[in-house]
């Protein structure tokens, strides 16, 4: 190749005899590359880019939706919590009222029993006191008769019992 003429002359770029060859193959190459790019490569890449844009948009929308859902869920949770609290308060109040009612009832019943028993006791006490008083007057009369007998004072039973009764009434009043 060193012996070919144009090497010595200088620029192979200006060797016009090769121009048709270069131009022909350039056109072939350009047409081939244009076909490959416009038919296969560029639509393929455009589709991928569009896909990606779509995916990103969809993902952002999904994220937005999820966030919305989370907010709703939180709201629902707070609502349920408040409702549960109200319900619990209500139940507590109700239970307290029921217990109070029951308590009142039991108290009333117990008081009634107590009143009945105390009335009965009082009656018995009165009875006992009455019988005691009888016995006391009888003993006092007997004792008075005995004392009078000892002092040899004649006194009829009527006078003695009247005096004893009067004395007992004074005692009672005191």
Partner 1 sequence: MAENGIDIRPMDQFVVKPLFGGDVVNWYTPTNVTLWMALAVLAATALMVYGSRGRAVIPSRAQSVAEMTYSFIYKMVQDVAGRDAVRFFPYIMTVFLFVMMANLLGLIPFAFTTTSHIAVTAVLALTVFISVTALGFILHGTKFLKLFWVDSAPLPLRPVLALIELISYFVRPVSHSIRLAGAMMAGHAVAKVFAGFAAALGAAFFLPILAVTALYALELLVAVIQAYVFTILTCVYLKDALHPAH
For partner 1, the binding residues (CB under 8 A) are 1-2, 4, 6-7, 10-15, 17-30, 32-34, 36-38, 40-42, 44-49, 51-52, 55
Nearer residue to partner 1 within complex by CB, 35 or 101: 35
Nearer residue to partner 1 within complex by CB, 51 or 146: 51
Distance of closest approach, residue 61 Cβ to partner 1, in angstroms:
16
Spacing of C-alpha 114 from chain mean position: 42
Nearer residue to partner 1 within complex by CB, 28 or 91: 28
How many angstroms separate the CA atoms of 23 and 27, rounded?
A: 6
Nearer residue to partner 1 within complex by CB, 23 or 157: 23
Exposure class string for 20-51: b at 16+ Cβ within 10 A, else e: eeeeeeeeeeeeeeeeeeeeeeeeeeeeeeee
Distance of closest approach, residue 40 Cβ to partner 1, in angstroms:
5
Distance of closest approach, residue 64 Cβ to partner 1, in angstroms:
19
How many angstroms separate the CA atoms of 136 and 156, rounded?
A: 19
């Amino acid at each position: 190749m060193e012996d070919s003429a144009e090497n010595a002359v200088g620029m192979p770029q200006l060797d016009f005899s090769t121009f048709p060859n270069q131009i022909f193959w350039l056109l072939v190459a350009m047409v081939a590359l244009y076909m490959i790019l416009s038919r296969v490569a560029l639509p393929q890449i455009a589709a991928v880019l569009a896909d990606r844009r779509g995916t990103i948009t969809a993902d952002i929308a999904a994220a937005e939706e999820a966030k919305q859902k989370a907010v709703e869920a939180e709201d629902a949770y707070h609502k349920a919590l408040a409702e549960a609290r109200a319900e619990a308060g209500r139940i507590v109040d109700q239970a307290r009222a029921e217990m109070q009612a029951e308590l009142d009832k039991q108290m009333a019943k117990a008081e009634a029993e107590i009143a009945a028993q105390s009335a009965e006791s009082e009656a018995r006490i009165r009875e006992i006191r009455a019988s005691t008083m009888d016995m006391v007057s009888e003993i006092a009369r007997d004792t008075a008769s005995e004392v009078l007998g000892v002092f040899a004072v004649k006194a009829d039973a009527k006078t003695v019992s009247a005096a004893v009764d009067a004395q007992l009434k004074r005692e009672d009043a005191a």
